[in-house]
Amino acid sequence: MSESPVLVTDAGAVRRITVNRPDKLNALDAATLDALRAAFEQAAQDPAIRVVVLTGAGPKAFVAGADIAEMADLRATEGRDFSLRGQKLMRTIETLPKPVIAMVNGFALGGGLELAMGCHLRIAADTAKLGQPEINLGLIPGFGGSQRLLRLAGRAATLELCLLGTPITAERALQLGIVNRVVPAAELEAETQKLAEQLAASAPLALRATLDVVNVGGECAIEEGLQYESAQFGLMFATDDMREGTRAFLERRKPAFTGH
């Protein structure tokens, strides 16, 4: 029996999901896309999990792209279906009601960068390389890269990465707003865990509402977004966590949030 393409491990309220194809630089084939989607859906349903960290196995790659060997012989309709399969995974991650951190430990190219951009936060090793090199294969991004990159980095950067296909450094990705933080490779694990634990200690319902209002606001007119924000803000006043958070502030102690 072959080894699973996705590994899942827990450390307290933090779940790590690891793409486990290091011999293929963690390339995304159909089976891996499906296994990842199942893993994220399970994390969403597990009440003990508050934060998810996504990374790749091995020292070289986060995810080096989609599996070219699997794609090479696809016909037009099959290529479209493969694209939709990948996009469904990215939307599953993007709309997850719990924060997802991409721990970019190496190459994040093509489908790998698209996977990272589907996450809510991205922390990268200073040795990582990121890019959309599909043009070099006679292709375009298919897992949402053109759309999320446009929203994160703007039109000029999107066209540069997608038209030239040249990978950029983690530091350049930070300048463009594609990643949130860049840290020395030796500190990536510790810094990611620190960030995950900070999020895990926060109020789960407020985290969920924050993700929700940002997702909604990014796709609608500002007046509609403001109204939605006010509605979600009001709902927080019905939670035990809001009472605990305000009491803890007034009593000068750390809050203990329960997700209620």
22 found inside a domain: yes
Alpha-carbon distances of 150 from 72, 107, 114, 144, 157, rounded to whole Å: 27, 20, 12, 10, 8
241 found inside a domain: yes
Judge if 227 and 187 occupy the same domain: no
Q: Evaluate whether 135 touches 146 at the Cβ level (below 8 Å).
A: no
Catalytic residue among 70, 78, 114, 197: 114
State both tokens at 184: 């020395």
Judge if 139 and 32 occupy the same domain: yes
pLDDT value at residue 3: 82
108 found inside a domain: yes
Judge if 157 and 232 occupy the same domain: no
**70 has catalytic annotation:** no
Q: How many domains does the chain have?
A: 2
Phi, psi of 119 (to 5 degrees): -80, 160
Which of 120, 114, 103, 171 is CA-nearest to residue 140?
114
**224 has catalytic annotation:** no
State both tokens at 170: 């983690």
The tens-digit pLDDT sequence of the chain (260 residues) is 358 999 999 999 999 999 999 999 999 999 999 999 999 999 999 999 999 999 999 999 999 999 999 999 999 999 999 999 999 999 999 999 999 999 999 999 999 999 999 999 999 999 999 999 999 999 999 999 999 999 999 999 999 999 999 999 999 999 999 999 999 999 999 999 999 999 999 999 999 999 999 999 999 999 999 999 999 999 999 999 999 999 999 999 999 999 99
Judge if 213 and 190 occupy the same domain: no
Q: What is the pTM of this model?
A: 0.95
Catalytic residue among 134, 189, 191, 223: 134
Q: How far is CA 173 from the centre of its chain?
A: 15
Residue 175 belongs to domain spanning: 6-200
258 found inside a domain: no
Cβ contacts of 136 within 8 Å, gap of 6 or more: 165
Q: Evaluate whether 66 touches 28 at the Cβ level (below 8 Å).
A: yes
Q: Evaluate whether 150 touches 177 at the Cβ level (below 8 Å).
A: no
Cα of first residue to Cα of last residue in the chain, in angstroms, is 42
